[in-house]
């Protein structure tokens, strides 16, 4: 009998590549036009691809705004341009949208992306302007038929460590929507007093540990330890809350980090001041019968919007407004975790 010749089984060399974890390594996600399959895969897992933003409550917004061809609209918060594009589609090539954003880097990219998709200056004007200057643009156009404001920050901004919005990745403690203007959160902490910081944390984020945190942060600064990175701030928060029982520590630290970063972001971007100004100017920017939809992401914003719309309704400026907030569906929240805290409010300008 012939001897069987056996080729020794060779184990395949293990593939060493791993899914990129760092923002800059996610090169496929950062080129969505080129790597469509990767983008679809990331979204299907309930995540937002790096460098992208998934627009929230698009159907609810479009249902309410009831955009008709020929109308003139204003998107106060361009971001990735998802809502802008959805509204442009409703115009069917007839009408015009003005959009503002204060972020020079992202708005430039969005401008190019929308131009490449056929939405140029003939139908869309993108302005690097704060939305609280809505009155200036409304003067040019004779008001707007529809207005959208999707407040806060975009996923591209949150996910980019160089912007300092996230306590989950190390980066400079910046938190400015426009890094070319104003002062960073680190610079703000350089000179803030303990009392002012405690007030800021309480007023902007209802932070229950505002006193303890303000003391810990300002003590650290006094010792000459500048808090100029996201990690340093997170570590001070962790140390301050170390006294908590083990079973609640992790969750409370996470929530405290979220609230502290939010409070600083609101402060360095003067978010309440500009929203207040926008709400004041809103009635005069809307044409008779014009509609406005506003998405908010925390209780301070929602309270401000609610009070302004209610007061406008009582004064006869709005013929109708949202008594209750509209929330994203459970399905949308499951698909996009960042939608979970969204509240939508709306109003209709009186015809008088
Ligand atoms: C939640 S994102 C908008 C996302 C957008 N709706 C989309 O579909 O891609 C909010 C955007 O508003 C911008 N923004 C925040 N406050 C602003 C302000 N006062 N004036 C102009 N833009 C502002 C931010 O820079 C960010 O790009």
Q: Ligand 1 site: residues with CB under 6 angstroms?
A: 53, 55, 77, 79-83, 100-103, 106, 130-131, 150, 152-154, 177, 274
Mean pLDDT value across residues 146-164: 96
pLDDT band with cut points at 50, 70 and 90 for residue 15: very low
DSSP secondary structure letter of residue 24: G
Asked whether residue 4 carries a pLDDT value surpassing 70, the answer given is no
Q: Indicate if the pLDDT at residue 3 is higher than 50.
A: no
| Alpha carbon nearest to ligand 1 atom 23, residue | 101
Closest by CA to 157, choosing from 139, 175, 144, is 175
How many angstroms is it from 170 CA to the middle of ligand 1? 23
Q: How far is the CA of 266 from the centre of ligand 1 (A)?
A: 13
* Nearest protein CA to atom 3 of ligand 1, as residue: 79
Handedness of CA 66, 325, 317, 285 (dihedral sign): negative
Q: Which long-range contacts (CB under 8 A, 24 or more apart) does 115-123 make?
A: 116/33, 117/85, 119/84, 119/85, 119/88, 123/88, 123/91, 123/93, 123/95, 123/96, 123/97
Nearest CA residue ID for atom 5, ligand 1: 79
- Confirm whether residue 82 is marked as ligand binding: yes
The alpha carbon of 126 and the centre of ligand 1 are apart by a number of angstroms equal to 12
- Ligand 1, atom 27, lies closest to the CA of 79
How much is the average pLDDT of 18-25?
53
53 annotated to a ligand binding site: no
Question: What does the pLDDT read at residue 10?
Answer: 61
Domains of the chain, each with CATH number or no CATH: 58-155+272-349 (3.40.50.150), 178-268 (1.10.150)
167 annotated ligand-binding residue: no
State yes or no: pLDDT of 18 exceeds 60.
no
157 is in an annotated binding site: yes
pLDDT interval class at 1 (50, 70, 90): very low
The CA 20 to ligand 1 mean position distance, Å, reads: 27
What pTM did the predictor assign?
A: 0.88
* Residue 152 CA to ligand 1 centre (angstroms): 6
Asked if 84 and 149 count as a contact pair (C-beta separation under 8 A), the reply is no
Give the mean model confidence (pLDDT) for residues 110-139: 98
Nearest residue CA, atom 20 of ligand 1? 130
Which tens digits make up the pLDDT trace of 70-118?
A: 999 999 999 999 999 999 999 999 999 999 999 999 999 999 999 999 9
The answer to whether 46 is annotated as binding is: no
- Which of the two residues, 104 and 32, has the higher pLDDT score? 104
Distance from residue 157's CA to the centre of ligand 1 (Å)? 10
Q: What is the pLDDT of residues 39-67, one digit of tens each?
A: 777 777 667 777 788 999 999 999 999 99
Distance from the Cα of residue 144 to its chain's centroid: 24
Average pLDDT score over the chain: 92
Q: Which atom of ligand 1 is nearest to the CA of 275?
A: 19
Q: d(Cα 173, Cα 166) in Å, to the nearest integer? A: 9
The answer to whether 110 and 80 have CB atoms below 8 angstroms apart is yes
159 is in an annotated binding site: no
Helix/strand/coil for 144:
strand
Q: What tens digit of pLDDT does each residue of 245-297 get? A: 999 999 999 999 999 999 999 999 999 999 999 999 999 999 999 999 999 99
101 annotated to a ligand binding site: yes
Name the residue with the closest Cα to ligand 1, atom 9: 80
CA atoms within 13 A of residue 55's CA, in its CB half-sphere: 21
Residue of the CA atom closest to atom 2 of ligand 1:
154
Q: Whose CA is nearest to atom 15 of ligand 1?
A: 152
**pLDDT > 70: percent of the chain:** 88
Strand 343-349 versus strand 318-321 pairing type: antiparallel
Decide if pLDDT at 330 tops 90.
Answer: yes
């Amino acid at each position: 009998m012939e001897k069987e010749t056996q080729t020794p089984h060779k184990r395949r060399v293990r593939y060493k590549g791993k899914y990129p974890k760092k923002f800059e390594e996610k090169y496929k996600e950062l080129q969505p036009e080129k790597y469509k399959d990767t983008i679809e895969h990331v979204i299907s897992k309930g995540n937002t691809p790096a460098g992208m933003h998934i627009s929230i409550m698009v159907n609810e917004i479009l249902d309410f705004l009831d955009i008709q061809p020929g109308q003139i609209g204003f998107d106060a918060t361009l971001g990735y341009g998802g809502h802008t594009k959805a509204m442009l589609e409703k115009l069917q090539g007839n009408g015009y949208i003005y959009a503002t954003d204060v972020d020079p880097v992202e708005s430039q990219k969005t401008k190019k992306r929308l131009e490449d998709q056929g939405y140029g200056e003939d139908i869309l004007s993108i302005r690097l302007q704060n939305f609280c200057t809505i009155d200036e643009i409304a003067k040019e156009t004779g008001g707007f038929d529809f207005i959208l404001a999707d407040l806060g920050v975009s996923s591209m901004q949150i996910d980019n460590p160089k912007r300092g919005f996230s306590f989950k990745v190390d980066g400079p403690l910046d938190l400015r929507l426009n890094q070319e203007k104003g002062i960073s959160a680190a610079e703000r902490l350089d000179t803030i007093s303990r009392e002012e910081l405690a007030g800021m944390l309480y007023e902007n984020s209802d932070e229950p540990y505002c006193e303890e945190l303000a003391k810990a942060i300002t003590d650290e600064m006094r010792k000459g330890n500048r808090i100029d990175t996201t990690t340093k701030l997170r570590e001070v928060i962790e140390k301050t809350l170390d006294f908590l029982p083990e079973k609640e520590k992790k969750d409370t630290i996470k929530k405290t980090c979220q609230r502290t970063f939010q409070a600083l972001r609101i402060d360095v971007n003067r978010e309440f001041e500009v929203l207040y100004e926008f709400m004041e100017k809103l009635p005069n920017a809307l044409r008779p019968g014009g509609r406005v939809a506003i998405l908010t992401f925390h209780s301070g914003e929602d309270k401000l919007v609610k009070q302004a719309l209610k007061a406008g309704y009582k004064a006869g400026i709005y013929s109708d407004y949202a008594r209750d907030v509209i929330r994203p569906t459970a399905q949308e929240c499951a698909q996009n975790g960042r939608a979970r805290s969204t509240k939508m409010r709306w109003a209709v300008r009186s015809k008088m």
